[in-house]
Structure 1
Amino acid sequence: MGPYEFRFYAADRGEPPHVHIYHDRAEAKIWLENPPRLERSSLNPKDLKKATRVVEENLDYMVSVWHDFFD
């Protein structure tokens, strides 16, 4: 989605829904809650804001994909 890469990892089974976001050499982990909650980030503030907006705009879809992936 845009310049960001969003990933789920099979090893994250058992954790609440979240997404790992990658851009350049930085990453963030955001919990798929309403509103999304940041776990950690090395993204610069501008990229973090943009990536968080993508998560907010696609939250229902991402949660659905999470459940499809793990169920």
Structure 2
Amino acid sequence: MPTVLRIGAFRFYFYSHEPNEPPHVHVDHGEATIKVWLEPVEVARSRGFRAHEINDILGMVGQHRTLLLEAWHEYFG
């Protein structure tokens, strides 16, 4: 699970066994987790985050989308 980015207590990472899915990132904070598609930026699934936290995470993903997409394509080819 390569970690791509950390913002505060949020960890942004990929699972190495998901290369056949569209580009996405997983974000964890404590026990909460969310999977976010990168094209377009939207929630694939979420567990444990409140609505305002999800909106904040989507904002962070949107802000760092280019970096996350570059890391995705570099890792998965």
Unaligned residue ranges in structure 1 (runs of 5+): none
Identity percentage of aligned residues: 31
Which residue in 2 is equivalent to 1:63? 69
Task: Report the counterpart of residue 46 of structure 2 in structure 1.
Answer: 41
Q: Which runs of 5+ in 2 are unaligned?
A: 1-6
More strand by share: 2
Match for residue 29 of structure 2?
A: 23
Aligned structure 1 segments of 4 or more residues deviating by more than 6 angstroms = none
Give the structure-2-normalised TM-score.
0.84
Aligned to 1:50: 56
Shift of 1:50: 1.2
**Over aligned residue pairs, what C-alpha RMSD do you find?**
1.0
Matched position secondary structure for 1:40: strand
How many residue pairs match? The answer is 70
